[in-house]
Amino acid sequence: MMQDVLEKAIDRMLSEKAEFCDARFQTLRRLNVTLVDGAVRTLTEETIAGVCLRARHLGSWGYASTTSSEQGAILEAASLAAKNARLGTAKGKRIPEVKGQRGSHRAKVKLHPSKVPLEEKLALVKDLDGAQRDVASVVNSNAAYMESVKTTMLVNSFNQALDWEEVRGRVNCMSIASNGSRTEVYYDIVDGSGGYEMFKSLDTSKMGRDCAKEADLMLSSTKCPSGETTCITDPMISGLLAHEVMGHASEADEVVKKRSFLSEVVGKVVASDLITMVDDGTLQSAHGYIPFDDEGSRSSRTVIIDRGEYQGYLHSLETAAEMGVKPTGNGRAQDPHRRVFVRMTNTFFEAGDWKLEEIIEGVKHGVLTDRAISGMEDPVGGGFEAKALRGYLIEGGEIKGMLRGFTLTGKALEILKTTDAVGRKVVLDGGTCGKGVEDFLPVSSGGPHCRSRIILGGG
């Protein structure tokens, strides 16, 4: 039994001077199906299994991981983890003992992807790819299906013994259209936590065809005006502002070492009173849903900003101990080979009470963004950078024309203080988040449409 071996590993690390330790056995099974231009380019099943041993000594961590499932190799790795912890020089408060939870938790899915024939998934992707070719200007069609089933068995020195399952899925398409002189790209994604039921009612023909039509429309888009302007960010770009700048700077590991521009702001007004922002790992259908984090803490909903006032940070066991608060269930690791540290789950701005038409009506000259390409964090300086896939020019309260991709920038706190309208509908956008250059985790970010002053350029 793997649990017995993990418990022996805990005993081994404790006997080698670990003040706290855990042993994490994780498996990750993924299916990827990719079609390109009508042909199956990838149909692959991937499996990872490994054990991560983690020991703490005076504020430093030692890690060792192995793909071996043999008891001898795992116990040897436990000794290495305990020894590695003693090489560290970091100091920190002792992690207070939490009541050990024990139990087994299966994912609450209606239709587990393992019960759906591969043929059905392949047919879905073929349909999604084929529909894009109905639009003449599309020179390259791409469609993909991905499912992942992750299991974790966690045992720690607080007598905790848990195992749980996380199930996620994603369907996406990307159309590339060309008129000979210009090439543009458009994409669409449906994803989340859950079983195959999230794709059962998906109209993949419509999704593929609409994606292709949008790529075609972008061939006549024009350059975005540059400079500081009134900008209505769509849910994806609003989400990047929430996640990349405000979210990363609210991760308490950055706060305890004062690498965050939000280190001293609890109780202070940091945004317009229309802004409320949360990180919520309990949203069961969202891509960043987790029942427990990778330290065994239950996921939770953390209010980061409440009507403009900053409330608090996201915590792992260690940062919670350091700051004398409860852990928030944000100690996460990518896989059995990676470290646990503070990470987000589903991070977003809450809804306001404006209709989108009302938000647009109030703009004499400005821009409405439409979909994101990427964003980048800046916990030190609080700088915002997001790349929009495209947008629309607004003149006299009306949408005038489509704009090709551009970049948004500025200081996040200055942007959020100018926010004067927040939409009624929150949309979450799933994806993966890296911290630094590695450690990629499933998350989501989002929000409603928000109107602010932002610097635009590029494209």
Partner 1 sequence: MRPEEVASTALQAAKGAGADQAEAFVVRSRSISAYVDDSRIKSVEEKSDLGVAVRVVVDGRLGQSSTSVSLSRQAQLCARSAVRTASLTPKDKVFKGFAWPAKGQSRFKVRDPEVATMTVEGVTEMLKDIIGSAVEVRKVKVPNGVLRVADLESTVANTNELLTHREASMVFAMVSAMTDGASPGEGNESFYSSYLKELDPHKIGSSARCKAKASASAKAYKGRAKLPVVLPPHELSEMLQGSIHFALSAENVNRKRSPLAGKVGKQVTARCLNLTDDPMDRRGMLSSPFDDEGTPTKRKVLVKDGVLKGFLYDLYNAQLSGVLPTGNGLRRSTTDPVLNYQMAIGIGSVCLVVRPGAKPVEDLVREMDHGLLVEKTSAPDVHPITGDFGLEVRCAHLVEKGEVRSTVKHCLLSGNMFRAMGQVSAIANDGTVSRNLILPSMRFEDLELIGSQ
Tokens of 375: 């964003």
> Residues 2 to 31: which contact partner 1 by CB under 8 A?
none
- Could you give the string, one character per residue 338-367, with x where binding to partner 1 holds by CB under 8 A and - elsewhere? -x----------------------------
**How many chain residues interact with partner 1 (CB under 8 A)?**
80
63 binds partner 1 (CB under 8 A): yes
Question: Binder to partner 1 among 1, 47, 180, 396 (CB under 8 A)?
Answer: 47
SS3 content of the chain, % helix, strand, coil (to 5): 25, 45, 35
How many CB atoms are located within 10 Å of the residue 3 CB? 14
Least separation in angstroms between residue 119's CB and partner 1 is 6
The least CB distance from residue 158 to partner 1, in Å, is: 20
Per-residue DSSP letters for 12-45? Answer: HHHHTT-SEEEEEEEEEEEEEEEEETTEEEEEEE
Residue whose C-alpha is closest to residue 241's, from 434, 351, 382, 404:
382
| Beta carbon of residue 103, minimum distance to partner 1 (angstroms, whole number) | 27
Q: Which residue has the tokens 């990778």?
A: 294
Separation of alpha carbons 234 and 388, rounded Å: 10
Q: How many contiguous H segments (helices) and E segments (strands) does the chain have?
A: 10, 21
Candidate ranges 114-122, 202-210, 272-280, 342-350; the one touching partner 1 (CB under 8 A) = 114-122
Scan residues 142-201 and list those touching partner 1 (CB under 8 A): 176, 178, 183-185
* CA gap 313, 71 in Å, rounded: 39
Contact at 8 Å (CB) between 97 and 325? no
298 binds partner 1 (CB under 8 A): no
Q: Which residues make beta-bridge pairs with 450?
A: 233, 422
Considering beta carbons, is residue 65 or 238 the nearer one to partner 1?
A: 65
- Report the C-alpha gap between 456 and 40 in whole angstroms: 39
Q: Which amino acid is at 286?
A: A
Q: Which of residues 257-286 bind partner 1 (CB under 8 A)?
A: 257, 259
The interface region with partner 1, picked from 48-56, 129-137, 351-359, 441-449 by CB under 8 A, is 48-56
Q: How far is the CB of 83 from partner 1 (least distance, A)?
A: 8
Separation CA 172–CA 125 (nearest Å): 9
What are the E-state strand segments in 300-356?
Answer: 301-306, 309-310, 331-332, 341-342, 346-349
Span interacting with partner 1, options 32-40, 233-241, 271-279, 423-431, rule CB under 8 A = 32-40
Least CB distance from residue 59 to partner 1, whole Å?
Answer: 8
Contacts of 181 (CB under 8 A, 6+ apart): none
* Interface pattern 82-101 for partner 1 (x via CB under 8 A): -xxx-xxxxx----------
Of the two residues 16 and 385, which places its CB atom closer to partner 1 in the complex? 385
Residues 397-426 that bind partner 1 (CB under 8 A): 404-407, 409-411
- CB 311 to partner 1: min, Å: 22
217 or 427: CB nearest partner 1? 217
C-alpha 368: how far from chain center: 24
Which one of 122, 189, 351, 356 is in contact with partner 1 (CB under 8 A)? 122
The smaller minimum CB distance to partner 1, of residues 357 and 438, is found at 438
Distance from C-alpha of 396 to C-alpha of 391, rounded to nearest angstrom: 16
Residues 11, 37, 203, 398: which binds partner 1 (CB under 8 A)? 37
Q: Rounded to an integer, what distance in angstroms lies between the CA atom of residue 161 and that of residue 283?
A: 24
Q: How far is the CB of 108 from partner 1 (least distance, A)?
A: 27
* Nearer to partner 1 among residue 280 and residue 370 (C-beta): 370
Phi then psi for residue 285, to 5 deg, are: -95, -5
Cβ pair 168, 155 in contact under 8 A = no
Shortest distance, position 156 Cβ to partner 1, whole Å: 17
Query: Which is nearer to partner 1, 51 or 155 (by Cβ)?
Result: 51
Residue 228 near partner 1 by CB under 8 A: yes
Closest CA to 234 of 383, 397, 356: 356
* 156 close to 20: Cβ distance less than 8 angstroms: yes
Site for partner 1 in 431-450 (CB under 8 A): 436-438
Among 16, 163, 253, 350, binds partner 1 (CB under 8 A): 253
Among residues 7, 358, 378, 420, which is the contact residue for partner 1, using CB under 8 A?
378
Torsion angle (degrees, nearest 10) of CA 174, 180, 182, 188: -10
